[in-house]
Amino acid sequence: MARIVLENLVKTFGAGVTAVAGVSLDIQDGEFMIFVGPSGCGKTTTLNMICGLEQPTSGQVIIGDRVVNDLEPGERHLGMVFQNLALFPHMTVFENIAFGLRVRKVPTADLNERVSRIAETFQITHLLAKKPAQCSGGEAQRVALARTTISSPDVLLLDEPLSSLDAKLRVEMRTELKRLHEQLRSTFVYVTHDQAEAMTMADRIAVMQGGRIQQLGTPLEIYRRPANLFVAGFFGMPTMNLISGRICDSDSPRFQSENLDLKLPAKAVPRTGTDRDVCIGVRSEHVLLGAQGAAGRVQLTEPLGDETLVFFDYGGPSQLVAKYRGDRTFNVGEAIVFDFDPKGVLVFDAEDETRLA
């Protein structure tokens, strides 16, 4: 019904710019798919090719079982919330939201009931009588969301719909959108540069960079088993610790780097063997501050309430960070001892940056 298949989509602008460099993806009916990646990686361009605002340079867009490349946006029957949202300026917020239902001649009582319900969902009941120009950026975004979702489209395309909201509201709207998806069971294709949004809402995430999908997977697959250094560095707060060095000695494999010599668990040794240049990645929650291991010195602490980020120097090229959950306090300049939890050590190839183990 509302399965979306992208087949080797390419979009170039003029001679020099390749915005999308060959994207293939099979989005299931009812799936919550999130495109995430840094600014300029081709997210909006991909979404625009799905909805018909951009014509692919090559490749196909299939919605349901039809190739839609030659259909106008209006003929594709999709709901859209754009990055630059377009509300009708002369209509009130109420009428903006009700527009789709009026077009379909939904009876007034039903219409009023549905507008008031969706306005509650997006916390905009108090704005219903206002015009869009009298709304803040974040309020207008929620009006646009309400206007699009009220008609329960089979496919909903959303381009950074929460970008203008304050931090608290953004977290609340994440929950509301997830709930709405559960309710509607429509196919959601959602674009964001915010990894936390992607992690919390998606069934599957497509991580993009340079016009290509770097990895496709569930949030936890991507967090735990990043395909390459780019994905590893993009997900997680704080950013994963990355240390360049060498894996040596196949009998008792060790990772050696400036001021660091660690025994590696067998699991962390690439199938392709030892004696090679690598980069290891360890998330802050897998850096253990304790009684044994290598020596470091605290440079900075960031208490977050339930846990503390401890940034420390170990004599290598860059500092490391540990996420500490115990009761101990750490002072700047204090000597510490650290180790890596073996199950949290990832190994990447130093040259092509793909994950080896």
Ligand X SMILES: Nc1ncnc2c1ncn2[C@@H]1O[C@H](COP(=O)(O)OP(=O)(O)OP(=O)(O)O)[C@@H](O)[C@H]1O
Which one of Mg ion, ligand X, none is in contact with 283 (Cβ closer than 5 to 8 A by kind)?
none
* Residue 141 is a binding residue for ligand X (CB under 6 A): no
x/- letters, 169..208, toward ligand X (CB under 6 A): ------------------------x---------------
**Smallest distance, ligand X to C-beta of residue 63, A:** 20
Residues 94, 134 contacting (CB under 8 angstroms): no
Residues 211, 39 contacting (CB under 8 angstroms): no
* Residue 141 is a binding residue for Mg ion (CB under 5 A): no
Q: Supply the DSSP symbol for 273.
A: -
Name which of 53 and 294 has its Cβ closer to ligand X. Answer: 53
Pairing outcome for strands 32-36 and 187-192:
parallel
**Smallest distance, ligand X to C-beta of residue 195, A:** 13
Q: Which stretch binds Mg ion (CB under 5 A): 41-49, 94-102, 122-130, 295-303?
A: 41-49
Q: Which stretch binds Mg ion (CB under 5 A): 6-14, 44-52, 173-181, 322-330?
A: 44-52
H helix intervals, the chain? 43-51, 93-103, 108-121, 137-149, 167-184, 195-201, 219-224, 229-234
Name which of 9 and 19 has its Cβ closer to ligand X. Answer: 19
* Residue 301 is a binding residue for Mg ion (CB under 5 A): no
Name which of 40 and 293 has its Cβ closer to Mg ion. Answer: 40
**What is the Cα–Cα distance from 172 to 161, expressed in whole angstroms?**
13
**Span 46-85, contacts to ligand X by CB under 6 A:** 83
* Residue 40 is a binding residue for ligand X (CB under 6 A): yes
Q: Which stretch binds ligand X (CB under 6 A): 36-44, 222-230, 280-288, 294-302?
A: 36-44
**What is the Cα–Cα distance from 305 to 302, expressed in whole angstroms?**
9
**What is the Cα–Cα distance from 241 to 318, expressed in whole angstroms?**
9
**What is the Cα–Cα distance from 3 to 123, expressed in whole angstroms?**
31
Minimal CB distance residue for Mg ion: 44
- Distance in Å from the first CA to the final CA of the chain: 39
Which one of Mg ion, ligand X, none is in contact with 36 (Cβ closer than 5 to 8 A by kind)?
none
At 52 the three-state DSSP class reads coil
Instruction: Give the C-alpha distances (Å, rounded to integers) separating 268 from 23, 163, 320, 340.
Output: 31, 38, 20, 12
Q: Which stretch binds ligand X (CB under 6 A): 43-51, 110-118, 213-221, 235-243?
A: 43-51
Q: Supply the DSSP symbol for 54.
A: S
* Residue 46 is a binding residue for Mg ion (CB under 5 A): no
* Residue 228 is a binding residue for ligand X (CB under 6 A): no
Contact residues: ligand X, CB under 6 A: 13, 17, 19, 39-45, 83, 193
Give the interface with Mg ion as residue ranges (CB under 5 A). 44
